[in-house]
Chain A
Amino acid sequence: MDFGLTDDQRDIQRTARELLGSRATPDRVRTHAESGQVDEVLWKELAELGWPGIAVAEEHGGQGLGAVELAILCEELGRTIAPVPFLPTVLAAALIEHAGSDEQRARWLPGLASGEHSGAAGDTPELVHGAAGADVIVLVSGGEARLVEGGEAEPVASIDSTRPAARVPEGAGEPLPGDVEAAVDRALVAVAAELVGVCDRALEMTVAYVKDRKQFGTPVGAYQAVSHRCAQMLLDTESARACVSFAAWAADADRERLGEAAAMAKAAASDAGRDVTAAAIQLHGGIGFTWEADVHWLYKRAQLDAVLLGGASAHRARLARIAGARAAAA
């Protein structure tokens, strides 16, 4: 049993951390968020590196790596709130690859894998995260999914302007004929991984701030009301991370457990994302409520991701059914 990454996976993680550390700086993120624009330069660079197709099969133009590698990139991009349509694109690709027809796969996957096309996916047509400017959108609803061409979407401003959203007409497009539930499970792991990255960054920024900020002659991080809340942020983040690791591993190696693992990961990460980023604002004090402090981008991203493809309650309801059926069978 080993929770560690392979050398190759560690390389991916390190490369991503370094690249995004210099490209997706807080200033650059804020500039793009304020104009509501995608960072086209960075997106092009990521596409050239083959990131959007990391988990897409080679026959469809991707790199053919697994859910673990995809989760690594999602987490790193989540850490920086990079204003690129990475997560929306890989969600659309996962849904099309695992639930689409041969024709849909051939039509869309090569473009999504190369980054030439961007995609989006969501389950609330009135607000699809990242769908503004997407070439293809997958709308999930009650175990079914429809593929909608981007031209039909109409931009809507969400609270998360690092990822422009759109409204998609209900009932539009063509159905995905395959196993939508299993495909959604893969997508859930990616969203949950991004949320873990968001949490990790929120904790890192908060710890740095409370060590530095002094009141009553002492760093505020020495007060247990503050330090214990930081400890709670770590517990929430690490619990969610463990669930995401398990789910990503299951997606690659143990598909029978993927459904349960994905629901656990999404429920844990959705709650952690909301709680940890809220705590980050609180522990930054007055500064945390200001536009310049940049904590709010994490909070806003977490809010959108937390409900994407089902919130924590929906996934807990599913888990109760799975675990309840198991208890009844025992």
Chain B
Amino acid sequence: MDLTFSETETAFRDELRGWLAENPPPPEPSEGGEDASYAWRRDWQRTLYDAGWAAPGWPVEYGGRGASLTESAIYFEEIGRARVPLPANVLGLLLGGPTLMVWGTDEQKDRFLAPILSAEEIWCQGFSEPDAGSDLAALKTRAVKDGDGWVVTGQKVWTSGAQHSKWCMLVARTDGEAAKHKGLTYFLMDMEQEAVQVRPLRQITGEAEFNELFIEEARIPDEHVVGGVGNGWKVALTTLMNERAGLGFALQVRLRQLLDDLFAAAAQRGLLEDPLVADRLADLHIRTEAIRLLAWKGLTDTERYGQPGPEGSLVKWQWSDTNQKLTQLAADIVGPEALTAGTHWSYELLRARGNSIEGGTTEVLKNIVAERVLGLPRLKAVA
């Protein structure tokens, strides 16, 4: 057991920390709304890209640094610690690129990877549908063969960044006769066509991070099939496995910072002397540190033994739970300000409700832990 970084890892961290300190992004634009904020994040990715920091975990041949899992985790910890935004094309960098590296043809890698890295082409993820959320394989969007391509019709939902995206990682049904998981194919769909309509989905915070996609006979050429026709479920799993790997570290650091802010807010109001407040804060402190330890344990076990432990699902579940408890305690500590529209804490309070739903609901995560980690039997679905 050694809970310190190696010399190489420390050097990596120090180099990045130094670079971030010297090259901070300009302040987020206060005017111009969501579009201006997005342009700001896209510019920030270009700055990272120019310095070779857009995706250090990518192999050198694709423009990354070939960073280890530990170094990639350090990268997200440092991004969080410096309180700078994630690169705009986060889904392309974390999900799309790595999926293509596993399943893509050489032509696809040549065509698609570089513009992901430079933020020239933004990616979004078209998996969930109105009737296929946790039960993803139930999706109904249909792709029909037509000449040297496919015609796609259907509806997707929870598509973040769709309005800015050039490419959509789309899973569609190409064989209606095959078993549920077998008739699926993974496509890269060009978002810049009339047949794809993006409608913002207003969420409980009032903003629209997510969208609905209405797809009416959109065209996708054969060369944009990833991993072969009928192999979509496997390819999608690669994408989903990447979903929690890196991002978790940025979220974990963000949680730590919010908790530090809350400690400071409590101290300012003299509330650390209140034993009830102190007890709840300390409980959050333990949970937050345990999440950090579990995240590192999961990652280093994967790195050293090739096998992740049970930590992955536990971390996401505990993170959402803790962030919700934290923002709820903030409402007690900062008082009316946390319930005043437009304030930092009111936003966090509302946004946190999404944490236990997005990227795997807590209920589904508990099922995964029960079935795959503890080996408990699965409840038969009601016919």
Contact = CB atoms under 8 A, between A and B. Distances in A.
Interface of A: 1-6, 9, 68, 203, 207, 210-211, 218-219, 221-224, 227-228, 230-232, 234-235, 238-240, 242-243, 245-246, 248-250, 253-254, 264, 267-268, 313, 315-321, 323-324, 326-328, 330
B281 to A, nearest CB: 5
Chain B interface mostly: helix
A65 to B, nearest CB: 13
Most chain A CB atoms below 10 A, which of B286, B318, B367: B286
Contacts of B377: 211, 218-219, 221-222
Contacts of B272: 320-321, 324
A323 B281 contact: yes
Contacts of B374: 203, 207, 227, 230-231, 234
Nearest to B371: A227
B301 A4 contact: yes
A319 B300 contact: no
Contacts of B310: 234, 238
A3 B301 contact: yes
B4 to A, nearest CB: 7
B311 interface: yes
A2 B264 contact: no
B376 A68 contact: no
Given A238-B294, A242-B290, A249-B3, A3 B376 contact: no
B290 A239 contact: yes
A323 B290 contact: no
Given A230-B374, A242-B293, A243-B286, 6 more contacts: A1-B300, A3-B300, A6-B1, A224-B367, A320-B282, A324-B263
A324 B278 contact: yes
Chain A interface mostly: helix
B35 interface: no
Given A228-B370, A243-B293, A316-B278, A207 B376 contact: yes
B5 interface: yes
A1 B318 contact: no
Given A4-B300, A207-B374, A324-B272, A223 B379 contact: yes
B266 interface: yes
B329 interface: no
Given A211-B376, A222-B376, A238-B310, A227 B370 contact: yes
Given A219-B377, A264-B289, A316-B286, A3 B369 contact: no
Interface string B265-276: 011000010010
16 contacts: A1-B9, A2-B2, A3-B1, A207-B375, A227-B367, A230-B374, A232-B366, A238-B294, A239-B290, A249-B1, A313-B279, A315-B282, A319-B285, A321-B278, A323-B282, A327-B267
